[in-house]
Each structure stands twice: as structure tokens, then as C-alpha cells.
A and B are shown apart, each in its own frame.
Chain A
Amino acid sequence: MSGQTIAEKILANHSLSGSDIKPDDIIIAKLDLVMSHIGTGKVVLDFRKIRPSKIRKVFDPNKIVVIFDHYNPAPSERWASVHDLIRNFVKKQGIKDFYDIKEGICHQVLPEQGHVRPGMLIVGGDSHTTTYGAFNAASCGLGNTDLFYAYVKGELWFRVPHTIQFKITGKLPQSVMSKDIIIKIAGDHTAEVATYKAIEFTGDTMENLSIASRMTMSNFALELGAKFAFGVPDQKVVDWVKERTTEPIELVKPDPDAVYEKTYEIDVSNLEPQISCPHTVDNVKPISEVVGTKINQAFLGSCTNGRLEDLEIAAKILEGKRIPNHVRMIVTPASQEIWIKAAKSGVSETLINAGAVITNPSCGACFGALGGMLASGEKCISSSNRNFQGRMGSAAAEVYLGSPATVAASALKGEITDPRDF
């Protein structure tokens, strides 16, 4: 037997269909953790179909995390009712790991609260669940029906994915961020380069990135179609996780003779900031080709880029300056922990003084249903992960995706601006 990739190892460790597995096999695997947000509402309704009512039980209340992030605080009576439905369910089922409206976005809060550890198999009712790959966990998103099954049985079918490798080397130029790398990959290799596949990001650039920057890559990897998206399994991960859990931590590393379907090599030493232009993430241009595009709104936030380092680089660019009145800059920290740190360090004050609006931690404007919606004909530069038509409001609006540095520089000028000029 040849060596195994990270995905193959983790799936083999969780397989109920035997541990001798290979890509394209369909296996049943045991789940370590199930996460869901507002989509829990549908699970609650589905539970009512289980008869008799006394067997309406989740598989293990200690392996489920429920969190509110898309509609915080409830923007309408409808969502208030869904919140209410879920709160009652969580209480009745004895799910202790429930985060109500204040903590922030699931993909930030779960790692922060110590729920994510190397080697785990995690599913979530949210597509960007791939984010936990930065912590060496195999994690992916799925829809409500799969979630219902997972809630009751604690297991699901998986197709063992082929693994592709992105070997990233070179020192990132100043003001160029991990977001620029992943957008560049989307542009060069399309939004389906990783469909059904697991990604392993490797190379010295990856090793040097912070955990936050790696999370950005694993998060955006979903937009490339990825099922799992692993960062580098190294001491940085162990140190980060160790501070947040008392559970044992053991990295899962690929075998030296693991078989990769394909390896892509990327040298980032001369990388320019990159922009995903409307309306697909792989409609990518280097910033020099879109500089000067007028914007109405700049959004800094989301599970992709709403972390402290993102707010810090924006504050550095905006320090002592003033965003023009005709530009709306909205900043949404990804979690309460980040928000408090930004408040303590003065980052929040700098952003507010520059004219930004800071909102409570949530999915915010990225999701196009909470606040910061776009009118017909408007343009937004956003640090989030989707620029689909109609994503942030009007179908006649345009969303451009870029790094937090690009968002801040663009807010200041009212047009898409190269952050390297600051």
C-alpha cells in the first residue's frame, strides 16, 4: 500500500467501512463534531418527523455546536422566531455548546472556543466549514438533509477524495496577503480546480503565514470547490490550539510517499494584489488592471477576512486619514474575541476616526441579508469570499473581492486602489 494523504488518514481513522480506503471509495464515517447555525431551524422541524417523540434525540449533545451568526441580532420577526425555535431545541436536547447572538461567525468562534483540533472529522451546515483545515481537521459543509442525518446518527457517507497539492514558495511582498494568493489560484486554475478534492497547502510561504492567514486560504478553498483544505500541520497549529483546549493534540501529517493527483507550484515573491471581479470568484485580474474602478462601499469582515490581523492592516492604512463621505466603509469583526482585542489595542478607534462603521460580530454584509446591502448600479470592494450576482443586495450591483489591505486602501480613495502605495 502506498502512503496516505492527510484526508485519507483522517477518513481511515473514522471509517466504519474498514480502514483500507482509497480515493473514490464511498465509506460511512463517524463524526467528531457537527456544527450548524441558522440552518438548525430546519433540523428542529425535521426532528418532529421522528416517531415516537421519545426517540427524538441527537446522537451526542457534547459533539454538537450550535451558533447564531447569519442574522444577529434578529433583523425581523421571522428570524426572531427561528432563533426562538432553535434556543428551545438546544435546551431540550442538552446541547451545551450553544452560542447565541453575540459571539460571532461560526468559523472563527469554533476554533477560538477550542472545539476544533487536529485530526478531527467535522461537518457543518455551512459551505465554508473547510476553514478548520487550517487546524489540520478534515471538515466540510453540507445541506440540511445531511445535517439532519448527522444530528441523529453521528455518521455520514463520504466519498474519499483525491488530494491535490499547492506548493507555495517565496516571500510575500509588502501589503500582499494570503487572500491575494488564494485569489490568484482561483484565477489561474478556475473555481473548480478542487471540486470533490482535498487540498494540501504546503511550501515555505505557508509555513511562514500566521494561523489567521492560513484560515483565509482554507476558507476560500471552498470557492475552488474543495471538500477539505488543509494548511501546514506544524507547531504553530499545536501552539494555537493548545491555548484553547485541554484535550490531547496530535497532528496528522501526510506520508512521504502519499499520492497526489496533481501538484501546483506557485512562487509568490513578485505577486501583485489580486481582485476577483464580478460575478465569479475566478474572474481574476491583477489590481493594476482594475485600479480606479469607483466604489460606493468597502466591506471588511466575514469568515474569510474579519480577523484581528485584517483589522490591524486596515487601521495601519487608515491611521490619521479620513474616508470620503461618499464611501461607506463597514467593518464587521469575525468574533467578539477579535472585537475586544481591536477595542483594547486602539484599532477600533482608528477605524472609527477614519469614518468606518463597526458592526457587531456576524456574517454581516457578506451574506446580503443583514445590513450593508447594495443598491442597483452600486459597486463594493469586499474582503469576503463571494462576488456572485445579487450576493450583497441588488442583482444589478457589483462586488469585487480583495484583501483587507486592498479594501482599506480603496475605501480611502473611493476607488479600487493598490495597497502597496501606502
Chain B
Amino acid sequence: MAALLGGKGSGEYKENIKGKVWVFPDNVDTDVISPSRYLENLQEMLDHTCESVIKEFPSKVQDGDIIVAGRNFGCGSSRETAPAILQEKGIVAIVAESFARIFYRSSLARALPVLEVNEVSKEFQTGDEIEINIPNAEITNLRTGKTLKGKKIHPILLNLLKIGGLEKQLLAELKENK
């Protein structure tokens, strides 16, 4: 668990991201992303994440892919394995109509960009290419050319993404106070 949760992360913060889209439905819960029966063996979890919603997701998802989802993404448990597993599978951002609170908070803490955009899931098909401007909360479907504006991330929280997440912030603060 340690290696995985401390794993790949989202890399350097970039204002603009482009990637291939996976479309997820409403109410994707943490037991779908990170089933408790696999908490014992995290390799198994990587092999099975989200398969009850999109069967081919765990085998076909690639580094740099982006999730576009409906409402209430990440509802359920506080287990941080949910955003961590998605990062480990290569997901670099999630755009959803809404997020469950803890998932949203944990994603920011892990420097995984999460954007709320109304009606977004209706504008995409799996396989489309998406372009995202994070500070402006602007997304474009490069297949249809349609651009949508979402809710801007609060400046304090945007800064959390920029510095690489809460753990980096903490370690930096401790260094300053030494």
C-alpha cells in the first residue's frame, strides 16, 4: 500500500493538459474504484479498478488519460486508494459534473486536478480528446470543438495543486520551521 499510495502522483503542475477521455456515469463510488476486497492486494486492485462500470478500463487506460464523469464522482468511503489508484493507472485529471467531498479534497491533497463542469458528461464519448485549462476551468472537446466553462478552483486550493499537494506543503513548512 505504501509504495502505491506514495506512488506516481500527477507529476509537475501544468496549466494546460490534453488527453484521451474515458466517460464515466453518475455516482461512481469508491467501492467501484477501490473495492474493499482488493485492499489486501493492491496489484489486484490495479487490475480490477472500475471494471464493474467499464470492463476494459483497467487493461486499456494509458498514462495521460483523463476521466470525464457525471455527478457525485467518488462518493462513499474516505479511502485515499481511490484517487491514488486512478493516478497510478495514469489518470492526470478528472472533470465531473460534481464530486463527493472527500474524494475532491483528497484529490487536491494528492495534486490530482479535479474540475467541476456542468453537463460535461453529455458532451463527450470515450476516446475523444479533451483540452483543459485548469486556472480558467475551461475545457474543450477537440472532436466537436465545443468549449465549456466550469467552476474555478479557489486560489488557495489551486496553489495546493501548483506546489504538488499537501504532503509537499507539509514537508516544506517543516523545513522552514527547523
CB distance from A144 to the nearest CB of B (A): 4
A146-B166, A152-B174 known; A225 vs B101 contact (CB < 8 Å):
yes
Given known contacts A148-B170, A368-B36, A386 and B31 CB-to-CB distance under 8 angstroms = yes
Please tell me which one of the listed residues A42, A142, A159, A368 contacts residue B5 in the complex, with CB atoms under 8 A apart. Answer: A42
In the assembly, what is the distance between CA of A36 and CA of B76, in Å?
17
- How far apart are B169's CB and chain A's nearest CB, in angstroms? 8
In the bound complex, do residue A142 and residue B37 qualify as a contact, i.e. CB atoms below 8 Å apart?
Answer: no
Cβ B80 vs Cβ A145 within 8 A: yes
A143 contact from B40, B80, B174, Cβ within 8 A: B80
In whole Å, how far is A353's beta carbon from the nearest beta carbon of chain B?
A: 32
Residue among B30, B76, B77, B170 making CB contact with A153, cutoff 8 Å: B170
Partner of A127, one of B39, B52, B102: B102
Beta-carbon contacts of B1-41 to A below 8 Å, as 1s and 0s?
11001100000000000000000000101111001110110
Instruction: Using A143-B80, A149-B170, A152-B170 as known contacts, say yes or no to A195 and B101 having CB atoms under 8 A apart.
Output: yes
| Contact across chains for A42 and B36 when beta carbons are under 8 A apart | no
Neighbouring B residues of A391 by C-beta, 8 Å = 31, 36
Q: Out of B52, B76, B101, which one reaches A196, CB within 8 Å? A: B101
Judged by a CB distance under 8 angstroms, whether A187 is at the interface is: no
User: For residue B94, which residues in chain A have a CB less than 8 angstroms away from its CB?
Assistant: none
Taking CB as reference atom, which chain B residue is nearest A227? Answer: B101
Q: State the Cβ distance, B177 to closest chain A Cβ, in Å.
A: 8
B76 in complex: contacting residue of A26, A127, A143, A192, CB < 8 Å: A127
Does any Cβ of B come within 8 Å of A126's Cβ? yes
Alpha-carbon distance A92/B4, docked complex (angstroms): 26
B56 interface residue (CB < 8 Å to A)? no
Of the candidates B30, B71, B75, B165, the one having the most CB atoms from chain A within 10 angstroms of its own CB is B75
Q: Does B109 contact A (CB under 8 A)?
A: yes
How near does chain A come to B30, taking the closest CB pair, in angstroms?
8
When the two chains form the complex, which single residue of A148, A195, A386 contacts B167, counting CB atoms closer than 8 Å? Answer: A148
A359-374 interface code vs B (CB 8 A; 1 in, 0 out): 0000000011100010
Tell me the smallest distance from the CB of A117 to a CB of chain B, in Å.
Answer: 23
Which of A126, A149, A191, A390 meets B35, CB within 8 Å? A390
Q: Kindly name the residue among B27, B40, B75, B101 whose own CB sees the greatest number of chain A CB atoms within 10 A.
A: B101
Contact in complex: A369, B40 (CB < 8 Å): yes
CA distance A227 to B99 in the complex (A): 13
Nearest CB in chain B to that of A46: its residue: B167
Q: Quick check: is A414 within 8 A (CB to CB) of the other chain?
A: no
A143 to B82 CA separation, bound complex (whole angstroms):
10
A388 x B2 contact (CB < 8 A): no
Known A143-B78, A157-B156; contact A390-B52, beta-carbon cutoff 8 A: yes
- CB neighbours (8 Å) of A373 from chain B are 37
Say whether B149 faces chain A, with CB atoms less than 8 Å apart. Answer: no
B60 at the interface (CB under 8 A from A): no
Pick the residue among A39, A195, A367, A395 that contacts B72 (CB under 8 A). Answer: A195
In the bound complex, CA of A145 to CA of B84 (Å): 11
Q: Using a CB-CB cutoff of 8 Å, which residues 45-73 of chain B contact chain A?
A: 52, 71-72
Interface residues of A in 179-226 (CB under 8 A from B): 191-192, 195-196, 223, 225
User: Least Cβ distance of A169 to chain B in Å?
Assistant: 28
A402 contacts chain B at the CB level, 8 A cutoff = no
Which residues from chain A contact B166 at a C-beta distance below 8 Å? 145-146, 148-149
- A49 is an interface residue with CB less than 8 A from chain B: yes
Query: Which residues of chain A come closer than 8 Å to B31, judged between CB atoms?
Result: 368, 386, 388-391
B35 touches A146 (CB 8 A): no
A134-170 residues with Cβ-Cβ distance < 8 A to B are 140-146, 148-149, 152-153, 157, 159
Known A42-B1, A157-B156; judge A145-B106 contact (CB<8 A).
Answer: yes
Name A151's closest neighbour in chain B (CB-CB).
Answer: B170
On whether A45 and B27 interact (CB within 8 A), knowing A143-B78, A148-B170, A389-B32, the answer reads: no
A389 to B170 Cα, complex, angstroms: 36
Q: Give the chain B neighbours of A127 by CB distance below 8 A.
A: 76-78, 102
Minimal Cβ-Cβ distance residue in B for A391? B31
Q: Are B170 and A45 in contact (CB under 8 A)?
A: no
> Is B171 a contact partner of A50 (Cβ separation < 8 A)?
yes
Interface centre among A126, A146, A152, A369 (most CB of B within 10 A): A146
List 28 A-B pairs, Cβ < 8 Å. Answer: A26-B154, A26-B156, A26-B157, A39-B78, A41-B1, A50-B171, A125-B78, A129-B78, A140-B102, A142-B102, A142-B105, A143-B102, A144-B5, A145-B106, A146-B166, A148-B170, A191-B72, A192-B98, A195-B72, A195-B99, A225-B100, A368-B31, A368-B37, A369-B37, A388-B31, A389-B31, A390-B37, A395-B52
Smallest CB-CB A-B distances: 6 pairs: A143-B106, A143-B80, A145-B109, A388-B31, A127-B78, A141-B78
Could you tell me which A residues sit within 8 Å of B by CB distance? Answer: 26, 39, 41-42, 45-46, 49-50, 55, 76, 78-79, 125-127, 129, 140-146, 148-149, 152-153, 157, 159, 191-192, 195-196, 223, 225, 227, 280, 367-369, 373, 386, 388-391, 393, 395
Other A-B pairs, 6, CB within 8 Å; known A192-B100, A280-B29, A367-B36: A55-B178, A143-B79, A149-B109, A152-B170, A191-B27, A191-B72
